[in-house]
Chains A and B, each alone.
Chain A
């Protein structure tokens, strides 16, 4: 073999060794305790990484807080965080990995409804309980799966709450709606549209955009030409921020409204000053309002060096609900490690859990009966926005 051929071979070998080295498991150190893993699936990279990372860190904090309590019973709880990239295919692939790991008893997950829906089919088959901090699409729980729970509100609550606010409080008569064609965005926009119509508002346009594009001037020229009182956007901040900015550039000065997908510091970063006058409905409450929340925000900042995002506390509460469920299941199982089915049942059975931002009681579909919708307004170009209203079911 000539030298020329050996060099690439060596390069490949080094690369392979590197990969194998990188994969070497970091487990060990559980010191004879039984390991229980809590999965977490959210986009850690990609356009919604800001929100996804907040969920993971929230869950990590909850697990750290309760490590000691579980250690006393002889269990070592660990977080197994995975990146679903906001991509349904990746979410399902990760779900298979989590399902195959027998130590994983439940998971905190999914930010995106579009990812949660196919992934939860895998969880259901494996009796792996999922508690979602953020998926709001109605289908997520309406399929009646035993394993699927969520602590946030549903779109058929969030959308109409937004419509009520837009029509009754902001007095919008002509509304132009834009949605991003995802399960989340179009679901929310439809709910908003139906309620706004019912209240007598005129829907002057209902248009879709493509996720990943940056130029929405076409749709917005159409919107501005119709002279609406309010533009509603169903989607997330990567597109939402640009729509806000480009609408203002086209001379639209009225209110723009969106759902919880805009509830992120990145909306402000992308839209800049244009964000003033933007309203949003969110299923996440403002943590700075309560003492418990302030303490949480402080601890979060100390541990991770980041400010809390809207979903940080929801990630925390989701994980805490799971841990409570597992603890109940352990107690019911005479201190032995429970099965997945037992955990699933225990989590669904949780009543009146008092978390950092929300109380949690699951109904028979897995929806949280205490879930609320909050309405915020960006008065200044800074995050977080100002809370304007709080609506219970």
Chain B
């Protein structure tokens, strides 16, 4: 039994890491907004989805104009991800302006803002669905495949107790881009003036405003960054899995939110760690549950497994893994 699990391990790690970094970046969007406003922005999962669709649209437009053949795929990809990131960033700012700021100005209870975010999430889902199915009546969009070169890791040769693992070019891309995003965000929050302002607002909004920090602008910037990262991840998701539909944001949003809670909501590094951990746990369970339980429980219980771990963590550390260990929260 153990031998079988170890054999599978390299492949599980690769797949789990791919899923995990996607969770991690989306989780950051939840955690940043929570850190500043104590609002769980449920629309964030759908901002991620919108990013994937905007990316697909740009990709199809470029394909139509023949750019894809003329340019290296990497440049096309960079254009797509930047356009999608900026567009969803603006979308995030717009959502905050239209839906959350008026509520905040009236000092509405936090619950109202939460319900509003659920409403926004439905609006986004159905708006995107409407547009996507206008032409064909089918809203499942399949993007042209990119970076589908297959790599074989010949581990078996070096370490006989491992099976060989395979991955696609897109895996490297997803990993590299998310790591760049995560590191630069970390630097931004900890080293720049704007980052300091964000941390100040997160600690105490009223005091921060007395220190001449423009609180509303800081909140807008937070939404822009969180949403832009989410949207860019949507593009990565589209490249990695090839197929998107307007409902990918729902399940993924819930998982990413869970990851944020696991890491300690409000803490950026915690969200990164929680995301990767959840991805690995889920993939490990999907690949090994039936081996561990001798077929009594199949891969369909992978979420149960992952969430049991979450509950265990929260029982012993209710503030999440990184919750109070770090004083600052953003």
Instruction: List residues of chain A with CB under 8 Å of any chain B CB.
Output: 44-47, 49-50, 53, 181, 205-210, 212-219, 221-222, 225, 238, 241-242, 245, 249-251, 266, 269-270, 272
Q: How far, in whole Å, are A313 and B133 apart by their CA atoms in the complex?
A: 23
Contacts of B287 in A (CB 8 A): 218-219, 221-222
Judging by beta carbons under 8 Å apart, are B150 and A238 in contact? no
How does the 8 Å CB contact mask read for B1-20 relative to A, with 1 for contact and 0 for none?
00010011001100100110
Tally the A-B contacts, defined by beta carbons under 8 Å: 109
Judging by beta carbons under 8 Å apart, are A214 and B243 in contact? yes
Judging by beta carbons under 8 Å apart, are A207 and B298 in contact? yes
Residues of B47-64 contacting chain A, CB below 8 A: none
Judging by beta carbons under 8 Å apart, are B299 and A208 in contact? yes
Judging by beta carbons under 8 Å apart, are B299 and A269 in contact? no
Contacts of B291 in A (CB 8 A): 222
Contacts of A205 in B (CB 8 A): 290
Contacts of B145 in A (CB 8 A): 272
A181-B300, A266-B138 provided; 16 other pairs, C-beta below 8 A? A45-B139, A47-B140, A49-B138, A50-B138, A53-B137, A206-B295, A207-B299, A215-B241, A217-B15, A219-B299, A221-B11, A222-B290, A222-B291, A225-B4, A251-B150, A272-B142
20 contacts between A and B (CB under 8 A): A47-B140, A47-B245, A50-B138, A214-B243, A217-B11, A217-B18, A217-B286, A218-B15, A218-B283, A218-B287, A218-B302, A219-B286, A219-B299, A221-B12, A222-B286, A238-B140, A249-B168, A251-B166, A266-B140, A270-B140
Closest 5 A-B residue pairs measured CB to CB?
A218-B286, A208-B300, A217-B15, A207-B299, A214-B241
Residues of B271-326 contacting chain A, CB below 8 A: 282-288, 290-291, 295, 298-300, 302-303
Q: How far, in whole Å, are A213 and B7 apart by their CA atoms in the complex?
A: 26
- The answer to whether A218 and B133 touch (CB under 8 A), given A249-B168, A266-B138, is no
Judging by beta carbons under 8 Å apart, are B129 and A45 in contact? yes
Contacts of A249 in B (CB 8 A): 148, 150, 166, 168
The residue of chain B having its C-beta at the shortest distance from the C-beta of A249 within the complex is B168
Contacts of A207 in B (CB 8 A): 290, 298-300
Decide if B70 is an interface residue (CB 8 Å cutoff): no
Judging by beta carbons under 8 Å apart, are B298 and A250 in contact? no
Contacts of B19 in A (CB 8 A): 215, 217
The residue of chain A having its C-beta at the shortest distance from the C-beta of B164 within the complex is A251
Shortest distance between the CB of B284 and any CB in chain A (Å): 8
Decide if B242 is an interface residue (CB 8 Å cutoff): yes
Judging by beta carbons under 8 Å apart, are A269 and B142 in contact? yes
How does the 8 Å CB contact mask read for B194-223 relative to A, with 1 for contact and 0 for none?
000000000000000000000000000000
Shortest distance between the CB of B275 and any CB in chain A (Å): 14
Decide if B100 is an interface residue (CB 8 Å cutoff): no
Q: Which of B4, B284, B300 contacts A210 (CB 8 A)?
A: B300
Judging by beta carbons under 8 Å apart, are B299 and A217 in contact? no
Judging by beta carbons under 8 Å apart, are A270 and B303 in contact? no
Decide if B98 is an interface residue (CB 8 Å cutoff): no
Contacts of A242 in B (CB 8 A): 241-243
Judging by beta carbons under 8 Å apart, are B8 and A222 in contact? yes
Contacts of A212 in B (CB 8 A): 247-248, 250-251
Residues of B148-174 contacting chain A, CB below 8 A: 148, 150, 152, 163, 166, 168
Judging by beta carbons under 8 Å apart, are A245 and B242 in contact? yes
Q: Which of B8, B129, B152, B295 contacts A225 (CB 8 A)?
A: B8
Contacts of B152 in A (CB 8 A): 251
Judging by beta carbons under 8 Å apart, are A209 and B300 in contact? yes
Contacts of A53 in B (CB 8 A): 137
Shortest distance between the CB of A356 and any CB in chain B (Å): 22
Q: How far, in whole Å, are A45 and B125 apart by their CA atoms in the complex?
A: 13
The residue of chain B having its C-beta at the shortest distance from the C-beta of A246 within the complex is B241
Shortest distance between the CB of B230 and any CB in chain A (Å): 16
Q: How far, in whole Å, are A216 and B299 apart by their CA atoms in the complex?
A: 10
